[in-house]
Each structure stands twice: as structure tokens, then as C-alpha cells.
Amino acid sequence: MDFVMALVGLLVIWPVLLLVAILIKIKMPGGPVIFKQQRVGQHGKLFTMYKFRSMSVSHSGSSISIKGESRITPLGEKLRAYKLDELPGLWNVLIGEMSFVGPRPDVPGYADQLTGKDRDILKLKPGITGPASLKYKNEEEILAQQEDPIVYNDTVLYPDKIRINLLYLERQSLILDFKLIVQTVLGGFDESKW
């Protein structure tokens, strides 16, 4: 299902992909259109995740993003707001590294912190969307309001994402995946209903 949906999706939205690529080249010159980063996939295997670049090339920021950061360009902010920066991830789905629904793939530093039962989430393919992604769709805004965003992420958000992803692992089904995809499109999320 993931392969077919990704293939159809890429065939349907290629004009959008082309338009976004052109805008990035015009509005954010001097860097690549596609941002590539090593992420931890199923069973802890590293893979290269693809996204449209939304940040300036010369930055040395952390692995978490905060709304309003200077490293996020004005165009990048719009791409992130409408999740257009995620569209190249369809390629990762097409080649079997990701799924439409699953935990967001972590950078190695975070995934390495998983211990005991928490490591069970690595049994899942990472997803473009998922319950934790939906619950924290405004994560960058939440972090921007914190005195220490990194500490808040590490002590509040990340543990809750692990909890939600473990719950998804227990309840995973095709019907639940369809519900989460619909919630992604419509922009709503209610943890109590899944």
C-alpha cells in the first residue's frame, strides 16, 4: 500500500515538487534544494531522509527546530507551515525506508537514548505522519515559548512522543493508519479516539 500510494502521490504532485524546487532556487540561492540527513529507521538501521531545504546553508543549530529561528528562511517557514518540506519523503516511502504512518525518524543522538521497552518503537518503519507528529504538529511554536527549549524537548516532548509511539505499536492497524492519514489531511487529532 505504501509503495502504491507513494508512486501515485509522486505522479500526481510532481508539478508542486517542481514549483517548490524552483522557489527554493530563487528565494534561497547558494544551497541545495533538497536537504539530506541521516536518520534512524526500522530496526535501528540508518537511512538518508529527504526534505525540501527550509534553512539557510551556513547555520550550526541544534537538531530541534524552534519557530522564529533566524536559520529558518521566510520561504522555509511557509514550507514548514504547510508541511510542503516533507514531500520529498515520498521517495523514502517509495523505496521502502519509510511508511506513510509511523514514528518520525530520529537523528542518531536521540534514537541512541532509547532503552528497554522504548526501543520497541524501532520495530516500526518511521512515518511521514503519525500520532505523535499530529499531537505535536505545532512543536516549533511550543518550543519557542519555553525558557530552555532543548531541556523541555528532552524532558517533556520526547518522552511523550515515545509513549504515544509505543501505544501506536500496540494498536497498529490499517484502519488506524487511514484514520491518522485523514486526521493529517484535515488537521485534527484526538488521542482518545484511536
Q: Which residues contact 56 (CB under 8 A, 6 or more apart)?
A: 28, 31, 70, 71, 73
Average pLDDT over every residue of 32-45: 95
Which of the pair, 72 or 27, is modelled with greater confidence?
27
pLDDT tens for 80-130 read 888 899 999 999 999 999 999 999 999 988 888 899 999 999 999 999 999
Q: From the DSSP assignment, how many helices (H) and strands (E) are in the chain?
A: 9, 4
pLDDT score recorded for residue 67: 62
pLDDT score recorded for residue 33: 96
Render 138-177 in DSSP notation, one character per residue.
Answer: THHHHHHTSSSHHHHIIIIIHHHHHHHHHHHHHH--HHHH
Asked if residue 168 has pLDDT above 60, the reply is yes
Q: Average pLDDT of the chain? A: 90
Contact 39, 107 (CB under 8 A): yes
Cell numbers standing for residue 128: 511521514
Asked if residue 61 has pLDDT above 60, the reply is no
What is the pTM for the complete model shown? 0.86
pLDDT score recorded for residue 120: 96
pLDDT score recorded for residue 184: 86
